[in-house]
Amino acid sequence: MLSDLEISHKADLKPIQEIAASFGIAKVEIEPYGSDIGKINLSILKRIDDRPLGKYVLVTAITPTPLGEGKTVTTIGLSMALNRIGKKAVCTIRQPSMGPTFGIKGGAAGGGYSQVVPMDRFNLHFTGDVHAVSSAHNLLAAFLDNHLYHGNVLDIDPYTIGWPRVIDMSDRPLRQVMVGLGSKSNAPLHESKWDITAASEVMAVLGLSHNLHDLRSRLGRIITAFTQDGKPVTAEMLKAAGAMAVLLKEAIKPNLIQTLENTPALVHTGPFANIAHGNSSILADKIGLRLADFVVTESGFGADIGAEKFFNIKCRQMEKTPDVAVLVCTIRALKMHSGKFKVAAGKPLDVELIKPAPAVVEEGLGNLLKQIENVQLHGIPVVVAINRFDTDSQEELELVKAAALKAGAQAAVESELWARGGVGGEALAWAVIEAASKPSHFQYLY
Amino acid sequence: MLSDLEISHKADLKPIQEIAASFGIAKVEIEPYGSDIGKINLSILKRIDDRPLGKYVLVTAITPTPLGEGKTVTTIGLSMALNRIGKKAVCTIRQPSMGPTFGIKGGAAGGGYSQVVPMDRFNLHFTGDVHAVSSAHNLLAAFLDNHLYHGNVLDIDPYTIGWPRVIDMSDRPLRQVMVGLGSKSNAPLHESKWDITAASEVMAVLGLSHNLHDLRSRLGRIITAFTQDGKPVTAEMLKAAGAMAVLLKEAIKPNLIQTLENTPALVHTGPFANIAHGNSSILADKIGLRLADFVVTESGFGADIGAEKFFNIKCRQMEKTPDVAVLVCTIRALKMHSGKFKVAAGKPLDVELIKPAPAVVEEGLGNLLKQIENVQLHGIPVVVAINRFDTDSQEELELVKAAALKAGAQAAVESELWARGGVGGEALAWAVIEAASKPSHFQYLY
Amino acid sequence: MLSDLEISHKADLKPIQEIAASFGIAKVEIEPYGSDIGKINLSILKRIDDRPLGKYVLVTAITPTPLGEGKTVTTIGLSMALNRIGKKAVCTIRQPSMGPTFGIKGGAAGGGYSQVVPMDRFNLHFTGDVHAVSSAHNLLAAFLDNHLYHGNVLDIDPYTIGWPRVIDMSDRPLRQVMVGLGSKSNAPLHESKWDITAASEVMAVLGLSHNLHDLRSRLGRIITAFTQDGKPVTAEMLKAAGAMAVLLKEAIKPNLIQTLENTPALVHTGPFANIAHGNSSILADKIGLRLADFVVTESGFGADIGAEKFFNIKCRQMEKTPDVAVLVCTIRALKMHSGKFKVAAGKPLDVELIKPAPAVVEEGLGNLLKQIENVQLHGIPVVVAINRFDTDSQEELELVKAAALKAGAQAAVESELWARGGVGGEALAWAVIEAASKPSHFQYLY
Amino acid sequence: MLSDLEISHKADLKPIQEIAASFGIAKVEIEPYGSDIGKINLSILKRIDDRPLGKYVLVTAITPTPLGEGKTVTTIGLSMALNRIGKKAVCTIRQPSMGPTFGIKGGAAGGGYSQVVPMDRFNLHFTGDVHAVSSAHNLLAAFLDNHLYHGNVLDIDPYTIGWPRVIDMSDRPLRQVMVGLGSKSNAPLHESKWDITAASEVMAVLGLSHNLHDLRSRLGRIITAFTQDGKPVTAEMLKAAGAMAVLLKEAIKPNLIQTLENTPALVHTGPFANIAHGNSSILADKIGLRLADFVVTESGFGADIGAEKFFNIKCRQMEKTPDVAVLVCTIRALKMHSGKFKVAAGKPLDVELIKPAPAVVEEGLGNLLKQIENVQLHGIPVVVAINRFDTDSQEELELVKAAALKAGAQAAVESELWARGGVGGEALAWAVIEAASKPSHFQYLY
């Protein structure tokens, strides 16, 4: 069996201009970054503004094990499957963070035969967007401290500084630091911390912006500290928002890359779901919806975190609601939810987890059923996708499907996107098309 | 009179592929980053390896005022002038640092009608090389602290940690910090500091590397700390050098951009001259020397700092010595060297400085004469270029030229590269051609 | 009306040797510190060891207002009253802390006509015991850090250092500090804090020690940190306990001072009740019990904190149980416990608090009744002492007395010790004598 | 041979009241601290104010080895010798610091048969003066930080805080600290340090004060920090000076103790000579001069440091100049000054140092001759006292005496004060009497 990296290196990539053209992007609208990656110039927005919108498919999941249950694989693979069966489709995913890339969890390009390529540039600097977010974020921190150094006209209380610095790295000792030691020329002295860039509010803001002007305005409203009499101090008041927007001038352009099957993939922004909204950008999705029949996107963690944020934050800001949700699960994770097993990244899997045990699967079903209910509360149809492993027994798979349907899922299908690429998801694709064709009754809950 | 930015925006840019082709770079050897910037794939090295080398021209200066005396303008402009008079020429310059860009000093794209374009992308993220250097540098810092956290098998003395972190920003309170506060899970606790990325040893190393393998090996030899019994702890011992090299995989490729006159300019690495060697990369110069008749490069600060480092460090590592040195001076700076004036960036210029005063110029001549002597000690011919201002009197200019010739300069000419572009430097170009045609007797001093 | 200080300065003090002699202390057993204060040499212990023990009276209180309800006044005053009516009695109280002395709360010498004198030396350095505790405590901190500096043979984990430094001062910024900055010669670098000396474990230990040998042994068992494999690091292991005991050689001797009525008062150790046992020393009480018919002592805060610690910690270590508890209350505090008023030190008292309001008193009675119950659970008789103010109405006073008796108190009497000295506490003295004459059924609860 | 401690324990001490009486101190003027130590009430000053002044003898030394050359032994011993031969004499020495006491150097009670007793109480807390200085010093630090916390009405620049905290302990990690971490309630956050109490400016001030009023005024003038516009912030401005003076109310009273020969010794204040004036108090010397024929005092380090400070600082503040200086030297130290040997505290002595070697002594003589010259520049007679060791050869001793006389010393005598007590210093005593009888021509140099 080939590793993800080996599969990736065997890929037969097409020039990014060709991918762009096939997707309906004009030559002047694609800015190449090397031969395989491009940025989409925002001038496209005006040209395609009056086109009809495609169907909007959200991929979410049950509560995952630390190994992940295949949301990204399903997102990428489903878009390939839809293309295979004649639908113009694109996936929109988030950029990786170098923290996990150099850690145990690894990159974020999907896996098996459902990957985006080239993997190495994707997982490292890509087109520099994460660096630009770091720069813009840290520029604001420097402006804030500089304001305190140069007389503090705004009367900022240094003990209220709530704007950290960021770095795209897992760097433990930066979690709690003291800056400005030594002498007054290094002032201001205060406690601070570094977050990972994916946790930056600038990253969250970038993902929610509709255009450069909107970005500029959102950046200006960021609160960094409070005055001695308790009033908020914004980036605008610190005169930093303009420079931050300039630093994000390229980063606001969605990135175009391709899947192993040469279908287009939009990759843009990467906020973490634990401390931000955890969804890829509104801009990428909007472009995708004007150019394709189907846009398949994903949200971080399980449906009770990432999908909730997708529905209540991203959709609200985007003014576009989803047509169908794909809920990914694995037999392995359902067994873990029985409470009988511990799964830890970087440690060997408990062998009991891969032996057929329908009764144990049944004990863990509650998580799946609750997540189905959660999504249905928002009024949209659910398709359950069982990300199938060789070690799953048919009895286990049927048991899950039956339970899902009983809980109200529109469909429950097995998928083999990881092992077989798009062809392994054709059943899922048809089920999604079917579910998406029904009228949506979406509603916000918060 | 137009500002630098206005001139820059009026430029008529050619596609970077076209610039590359005209310079002899094959289509597969140029990787576009947008339409105006490209990276040169190192596969070119093998193809051009047996070509004859062009002439190697170093631009240096007298001790500058804080405003700079026009080294970069002369470097860019001289390459344009050489092209104008029929010589295939390229300039090789350093990437800017965002510290000065957002500070008083500003960008590093040259000025007036001797600039490289597009200025905004050049001065901000460019092709991400500086970010890659930051990432590689900081990865090593994280690996070092992580080693201490996980049992410290190498028995590193935390008080000897001499590897800072870096950021491409002027951020005062980061000059002296304490990291790892709060609890053992944030360990190790130690004092640290942030340097600006242009001061990173990784940046210096990148500029001196001949290829990826050489880079990997140099990175591995970096010393970060010492063991309790006083032995050096290298990046190799921390198992960080491989990952650092991977992060620099794109950054090691020289960048191609164009001048206002559509001649090629190579831009690569940006070490600071005060704490590093302060010269652009060996790789860019080597490619230039195989493709062009003349490579015009510059070194930071005055000849007594930057040129010395160029001669004794860069040339030694490169195994190629220069053919001629252009020594830039201004009437304004010579007046300052009389000791009668103070010049400070961000403050209005003393009006006395721009009134004709040959006697004052004469008092300041010592700096020029000493710098001529310094360069001549290395055995290469010197051409003095007087970067001419409207306010200079002819008497002053003639006085300087006579003194320079008397001190042994091959030629002393006025240049109007800033005001007129390449055409303003034709006399300088001819003088350089003449001086470079003489046999070189270069020798190292250290 | 005279202030406490004025009353104190009008006192007619007798030489401390005379007080000592009247109390049965031999001339060689009293070491004068100036004319009015003495230390009792521990050689006395052997001489009086076989004498019968006097009655042991604990003064405690309902939950106090921040102003205090008069426990110390009652303790000092009751001992004076007992002497007045022919019983040989002594009070044993704690030394003051300079934190409160220089703060809002003020000194700890009692008040009105129930004070110990001289007040100024009592409230400042006294005989230096608190300084000795600070020195011994901080010596251990220095030994611990020194051990880490000199090779750390015990393999102490610096992140487990749990031994603070102390100072007898309210000094806010010392609550959280970083020590050892600058260089390895200042090592070890670690986070630390300063407690007030009254919160030192050394102070707590000193108050529980039976003799110098016992003190030495208890000091040796203090845990300061843990090794890398989780084992405790004691003062003994750091070879500090001997030097600490030497530094406490004088401090272990109880101090003798006199009341305004020239009766003896023993003052020894001052642990805080919020973070230590909060009682004066076992040694002072033991000497008192051999020399007097009645020893009146007090414990910090209300009966639910200080008395519990007295019963379950001090008595257990002392192997002597109390014969009677006096529970002090005020009409003012009972009104506060109705929940209708806020009382804050340093702010003017709500005028409503001093107007007669029996119904409000009744609403706050629960605190008194619960404290009576708490003490009775230990099996000893309770006498309620109402510390009477001019503004109390007779109806309020009677209401409280009736409720106390109903709840099982042996007696409930008004006291005027503050306003009148010993003569104002004769009724209380008789009630205490009566209650103490009953057989005790004391039991520990924890 | 008995150790210092053994000799000390064999001493036959007289009650301190008896020592006081023999010295002319009235009963009400001596406040006992235990049986062997007393404080002299400042009421004595008025009673003895019109008495004639005794002779004032300064003991100083050549540059000492780290082991010390016997200044304190000579000071104590010379006073005993003077008493032996019928002169009423007293020595005035400094209090020890617990830093050296618990370090390699040890206590400061003299040595051999020239000691003050009791040694243990002398070397530890004594009468608490050092603790009082610590308290007063740290109170000012707390007031300063408290001022910053409570609104900073004086507009103090926290980066100019120049007032450390102090502790009477050698505690390395306190040399550089950060205080006020954690939150605003621990403010102000600033870098700070701890000095040893003997280095406190309060200790220096106490030693130079003439009475409590003068002390109060000097404390008020202490500068602690500067305002944002550069004006000094004094203890008076912080309203701390009054409380500091109250804390020093007992410490300002000189302490009386006795020598092994039951002669009086005054011990008061202990500023370090490296960072303060390094001399015992003016008050002790003034009382001594009114009560005795001879006051023998000492100053820290060699004559080029301590004696200079004695002459130019203490004498100037005291308005009394010395009559004679005793310059102590040892053969051992002169050999060290040849540059041929290293002497380090805590390490075994080089055996070559104790073998007779007149030529080596001669090589080291320069230090002695220069120190004689230094003292003579102030216009007072010098008596050289050679602190004799068993291992000194007569040839070496004679050589030193001859050179000293040649350099202008009034006398040069051997002393055996360490080995024999007062009787071993009779020759020195007679020489001092002789020299002190000459008219003084003292002058300040600075």
Residue at token pair 């344009």:
B80
Give A440's DSSP letter. Answer: P
Which of D189, D191, D228 has the most A C-beta neighbours within 10 Å, making it the best mutation to test the interface with A? D189
Contact criterion met (CB below 8 Å) for B78 and B429: yes
B189 and C187 within 8 Å at the Cβ level: the answer is no
Q: Which amino acid is at C69?
A: E
For position B104, what pLDDT does the model report? 67
Q: Is residue B167 located within the same domain as residue B219? A: yes
A187 and D159 within 8 Å at the Cβ level: the answer is yes
Give C-chain residues touching B184 at CB under 8 angstroms.
Answer: 157, 159-160
Q: Is residue B133 located within the same domain as residue B235? A: yes
Residue D329 belongs to what domain range?
4-127+251-436
The pLDDT confidence band at residue A359, using thresholds 50, 70 and 90, is very high
Q: Establish if A443 belongs to a structural domain.
A: no
- Pick from D39, D131, D179: which is nearest to C177 by CB? D179
Say yes or no: D187 contacts chain A, CB-CB below 8 A. Answer: yes
B128 and A124 within 8 Å at the Cβ level: the answer is no
Angle of the B212-220 helix axis to the B201-208 helix axis, nearest 10: 140
Say how many CA atoms lie within 13 Å of B44 toward its Cβ: 26
Q: Is residue C325 located within the same domain as residue C293? A: yes
For position B344, what pLDDT does the model report? 85
C181 and B159 within 8 Å at the Cβ level: the answer is no
Give the phi and the psi of residue A191 in degrees, each rounded to 5. Answer: -75, 145
Residue A104 has pLDDT above 70, yes or no: no
Cis peptide bond upstream of A96, omega within 30: no
Say yes or no: A42 contacts chain D, CB-CB below 8 A. Answer: no
Does the global pTM surpass 0.80? yes
Contact criterion met (CB below 8 Å) for D197 and D168: yes
| Whether complex ipTM tops 0.90 | yes
D157 and A190 within 8 Å at the Cβ level: the answer is no
How many pairs of residues across A and D have Cβ atoms under 8 Å apart? 20
Contact criterion met (CB below 8 Å) for A41 and A31: yes
pLDDT tens sequence across B64-75: 988 888 999 999
pLDDT tens sequence across A414-445: 999 999 999 999 999 999 999 999 887 899 98
Residue of C nearest to B159 (CA): C184
The whole-angstrom separation of Cα D128 and Cα D268 is 11
The whole-angstrom separation of Cα D127 and Cα D249 is 12
CATH, residue D218: 3.30.1510.10
Joined together, the tokens standing for residue C198 give 């009254």
For position D254, what pLDDT does the model report? 98
Domains held by chain A: number: 2
The whole-angstrom separation of Cα C390 and Cα C414 is 12
For position D352, what pLDDT does the model report? 86
The whole-angstrom separation of Cα C268 and Cα A430 is 87
* Average pLDDT along chain D: 95
Residue B99 has pLDDT above 90, yes or no: no
Convert D122-136 to b/e letters by CB count within 10 Å (16 or more is b). Answer: bbbbbbbbbbbbbbb
The whole-angstrom separation of Cα A115 and Cα A72 is 9
How many helical (H) and strand (E) elements, i.e. helices and strands, does chain D have? 18, 18
Angle of the D394-406 helix axis to the D358-376 helix axis, nearest 10: 30
Q: Is residue C154 located within the same domain as residue C12? A: no
Q: Is residue B220 located within the same domain as residue B166? A: yes
Q: Establish if A76 belongs to a structural domain.
A: yes
Q: Establish if A419 belongs to a structural domain.
A: yes
- Pick from A128, A174, A188: which is nearest to B131 by CB? A128
Q: Is residue D295 located within the same domain as residue D425? A: yes
Say yes or no: A155 contacts chain D, CB-CB below 8 A. Answer: no
For position B204, what pLDDT does the model report? 97
**Which of B169, B243, B257 minimizes the C-alpha distance to B202?**
B243
CB-based contacts of A13: which residues, under 8 Å, 6+ apart? A35, A36, A117, A118, A258, A262
Joined together, the tokens standing for residue C14 give 């007798």
- Pick from B125, B145, B169: which is nearest to A173 by CB? B145
Question: Given CA atoms A227, A231, A236, A237 in this order, what sign does their dihedral have?
Answer: negative
- Pick from B124, B142, B188: which is nearest to A169 by CB? B142
SS3 B353: helix
For chain A, what is the radius of gyration of the CA atoms? 23
Residue at token pair 């054709």:
A426
pLDDT tens sequence across A218-264: 999 999 999 999 999 999 999 999 999 999 999 999 999 999 999 99
Q: Which residues 196-255 in chain B show a CB within 8 A of chain A?
A: 243, 246-247, 249-250
For chain B, what is the radius of gyration of the CA atoms? 23
The whole-angstrom separation of Cα D171 and Cα D97 is 13
B186 and A169 within 8 Å at the Cβ level: the answer is no
- Cβ of D430: how many Cβ atoms within 10 Å? 16
Give the distance, in angstroms, between the CA of residue C179 and the centroid of all CA atoms in the same chain: 32
Q: Is residue C300 located within the same domain as residue C424? A: yes
CB-based contacts of B105: which residues, under 8 Å, 6+ apart? B68, B345
Residue of B nearest to C190 (CA): B189
Please return the burial class of C346, using the count of CB atoms within 10 Å of its CB with bins 0-12, 13-18 and 19+.
Answer: exposed
How many helical (H) and strand (E) elements, i.e. helices and strands, does chain B have? 18, 18
Residue of A nearest to D160 (CA): A184
Give A-chain residues touching B35 at CB under 8 angstroms.
Answer: 31
B177 and A172 within 8 Å at the Cβ level: the answer is no
The pLDDT confidence band at residue A275, using thresholds 50, 70 and 90, is confident
For position C104, what pLDDT does the model report? 67
Contact criterion met (CB below 8 Å) for D247 and D139: yes
* CA angle D4–D7–D11, rounded 5-degree value: 135
Say how many CA atoms lie within 13 Å of A218 toward its Cβ: 17
Largest CA distance in chain C: 72
Give D-chain residues touching C180 at CB under 8 angstroms.
Answer: 172-173, 176-177
Q: Report the run of H or E that residue A21 belongs to, with start and end.
A: helix A16-23
SS3 B126: coil
Say yes or no: C51 contacts chain D, CB-CB below 8 A. Answer: no
Q: Is residue C107 located within the same domain as residue C145? A: no
- Cβ of D404: how many Cβ atoms within 10 Å? 25
The full 3-state SS of chain C, as one line of letters, equals CCCHHHHHHCCCCCCHHHHHHHCCCCHHHEEEECCCCEEECCCHHHHCCCCCCCEEEEEEECCCCCCCCCHHHHHHHHHHHHHHCCCCEEEEECCCCHHHHCCCCCCCCEECCEEEECHHHHHCCCCCHHHHHHHHHHHHHHHHHHHHHCCCCCCECHHHCCCCEEECCCCHHHHCEEECCCCHHHCCCEEECEEEHHHCHHHHHHHHCCCHHHHHHHHHCCEEEEECCCCEEECCCCCCHHHHHHHCCCCCCCEEEEECCCCEEEECCCCCCCCCCCECCHHHHHHHHHHCCEEEEEECCCHHHHHHHHHHHHHHHHCCCCCEEEEEECHHHHHHHHHHCCCCCCCCCCHHHHCCCHHHHHHHHHHHHHHHHHHHCCCCCEEEEEECCCCCCHHHHHHHHHHHHHCCCCEEEEECHHHHHHHHHHHHHHHHHHHHCCCCCCCCCC
- Pick from B182, B184, B189: which is nearest to C189 by CB? B189
Which of C30, C40, C123, C176 has the most D C-beta neighbours within 10 Å, making it the best mutation to test the interface with D? C176
Give C-chain residues touching B187 at CB under 8 angstroms.
Answer: 159
Say yes or no: A129 contacts chain B, CB-CB below 8 A. Answer: no
Please, which chains are in contact with D (at least 3 CB pairs closer than 8 A)?
Answer: A, C
Residue of D nearest to C39 (CA): D34
Please give the average per-residue pLDDT across D60-81, as a whole number. 94
Q: Is residue B418 located within the same domain as residue B302? A: yes
pLDDT tens sequence across B213-268: 999 999 999 999 999 999 999 999 999 999 999 999 999 999 999 999 999 999 99
The whole-angstrom separation of Cα B251 and Cα B206 is 8
Contact criterion met (CB below 8 Å) for C384 and C372: yes
Task: Indicate the residue among D227, D247, D267 that finishes a domain.
Answer: D247
Contact criterion met (CB below 8 Å) for A233 and A156: yes
- Pick from A102, A177, A247: which is nearest to B178 by CB? A177
Q: Establish if C334 belongs to a structural domain.
A: yes
pLDDT tens sequence across D385-429: 999 999 999 999 999 999 999 999 999 999 999 999 999 999 999
Q: Is residue A32 located within the same domain as residue A48? A: yes
CATH, residue C256: 3.40.50.300
CA of D286 vs chain C CAs: smallest distance (Å): 22
pLDDT tens sequence across D140-167: 999 999 999 999 999 999 999 999 999 9
C183 and B159 within 8 Å at the Cβ level: the answer is yes
D189 and A184 within 8 Å at the Cβ level: the answer is no
Q: Is residue A326 located within the same domain as residue A352? A: yes
The whole-angstrom separation of Cα A369 and Cα C315 is 61
Joined together, the tokens standing for residue A275 give 């401390």
Contact criterion met (CB below 8 Å) for B84 and B423: yes
- Pick from A124, A176, A186: which is nearest to B181 by CB? A176
Task: Indicate the residue among C199, C215, C247 that finishes a domain.
Answer: C247
Say how many CA atoms lie within 13 Å of B15 toward its Cβ: 10
Which of A121, A172, A183, A193 has the most B C-beta neighbours within 10 Å, making it the best mutation to test the interface with B? A172
Q: Establish if D441 belongs to a structural domain.
A: no
- Cβ of B343: how many Cβ atoms within 10 Å? 16
Please, which chains are in contact with C (at least 3 CB pairs closer than 8 A)?
Answer: B, D
Q: Establish if C445 belongs to a structural domain.
A: no
Joined together, the tokens standing for residue B347 give 């403050």
Q: Is residue D268 located within the same domain as residue D202? A: no
Q: Establish if D444 belongs to a structural domain.
A: no
Q: Establish if C442 belongs to a structural domain.
A: no
For position B69, what pLDDT does the model report? 87
Give percent above pLDDT 70 in chain A.
99
The whole-angstrom separation of Cα D442 and Cα C357 is 81
- Pick from D120, D168, D181: which is nearest to C177 by CB? D181
Say yes or no: B98 contacts chain A, CB-CB below 8 A. Answer: yes
Task: Indicate the residue among A200, A230, A247 that finishes a domain.
Answer: A247
For position D89, what pLDDT does the model report? 98
Give, for all 446 residues of chain C, the pLDDT tens digit: 889 999 999 999 999 999 999 999 999 999 999 999 999 999 999 999 999 999 999 999 999 988 888 999 999 999 999 999 999 999 999 999 988 778 766 778 899 999 999 998 999 999 999 999 999 999 999 999 999 999 999 999 999 999 999 999 999 999 999 999 999 999 999 999 999 999 999 999 999 999 999 999 999 999 999 999 999 999 999 999 999 999 999 999 999 999 999 999 999 999 998 889 999 999 999 999 999 999 999 998 899 999 999 999 999 999 899 999 999 999 999 999 999 988 887 788 888 888 999 999 999 999 999 999 999 999 999 999 999 999 999 999 999 999 999 999 999 999 999 999 999 999 999 999 999 998 878 999 87
Please give the average per-residue pLDDT across D79-83, as a whole number. 98
Residue B406 has pLDDT above 70, yes or no: yes
Contact criterion met (CB below 8 Å) for A417 and A114: yes
